[in-house]
Amino acid sequence: MARISAVLFDMDDTLIDWSRAEGDIAAIEAKHMANVYRHLADQDHVLPPFQSFLDQFHNAMVNAWTEAKKSWSGVSFGSLLRDFLATCGLDTDKIDLEAVMQAYNWSVIPGVAPFDDTLFVLAQLKEAGYKIGLITNAMQPMWMRDIELRAFGILDYLDARLTSGDVGFMKPHPFIYHRALELLDVAPEAAVFVGDRPANDIAGANKAGLISVLISPPHLNRDLADTRPNYTISQLTELLPILAELEGDT
């Protein structure tokens, strides 16, 4: 009887590699918020000048994350957007928030791609019968990040996937791990969690009772502080012998 039933992953810098992302995050944010701005302007909403709209949204987002991190609650893009539009003086009862989020037109960030071994490892895990999960600390609803997962060929491997924006809690809060395990119908001790952030991915996995694996790709230098991962790897293929060891095959 297999000891491990599921392997769960963080998304950014665990399954997908941000080291060659083109353009900075501020420019990416501006591009998508310009889509929102045009969408609302087309519907005759009275808006502040674009730069002010953008700056105010950015500040609202930073504040929301700062606040959320105090209790590890999740920032929801939809709620953030709704509250922000209200502060711009818009009547949010008259705004179709889903349509605004569609207009935002989230897409793959140029230069971001799966790591060289991501799809190989996912295929091996699937082949071996493991359930595969994903938990990301992202404010976007899952359907937005699915756009990237689909483009990268990752989506079909996932049996459960959650964003903190949807769940209302972010890693390291145990709730989001337990929610994913519930969806996979797997006990914490029968699950492995792989992530790149010690303070979020690993501290949370440890607290929630999963076996933790820190992936530390060469371009990242993470401070461990007092977090102790059960295993540390530098690329995903190294996960395979660890699983064999956990199963008692070696």
Binding site for Mg ion (CB under 5 A): 10, 12-13, 196
For the CB of residue 197, give the shortest distance to Mg ion in the complex, in Å: 5
- Concatenated DSSP letters of 139-188: SS-HHHHHHHHHHTT-GGG-SEEEEHHHHSB-TTSHHHHHHHHHHHT--G
For the CB of residue 16, give the shortest distance to Mg ion in the complex, in Å: 9
Sheet with 160-163: strands ordered across: 160-163, 131-136, 6-9, 191-195, 211-215, 231-233
For the CB of residue 10, give the shortest distance to Mg ion in the complex, in Å: 4
- C-alpha pair distances (Å), 14 with each of 34, 47, 134, 216: 29, 39, 10, 8
Nearer to Mg ion, 39 or 197 (CB): 197
Residue holding tokens 């392997």? Answer: 7
* Phi/psi-derived region of residue 4, left when phi > 0, alpha when psi is between -120 and 50, beta in every other case: beta
Q: How far apart are the first and last CA of the chain?
A: 15
For the CB of residue 72, give the shortest distance to Mg ion in the complex, in Å: 15
Nearer to Mg ion, 81 or 196 (CB): 196
Contacts of 89 (CB under 8 A, 6+ apart): 46
For the CB of residue 194, give the shortest distance to Mg ion in the complex, in Å: 10
Nearer to Mg ion, 57 or 169 (CB): 169
Nearer to Mg ion, 84 or 148 (CB): 148
Nearer to Mg ion, 12 or 148 (CB): 12
Contacts of 126 (CB under 8 A, 6+ apart): 132, 157
Nearer to Mg ion, 5 or 140 (CB): 140
Nearer to Mg ion, 18 or 120 (CB): 18
Residue nearest to Mg ion (CB): 12
For the CB of residue 152, give the shortest distance to Mg ion in the complex, in Å: 15
* Phi/psi-derived region of residue 23, left when phi > 0, alpha when psi is between -120 and 50, beta in every other case: left
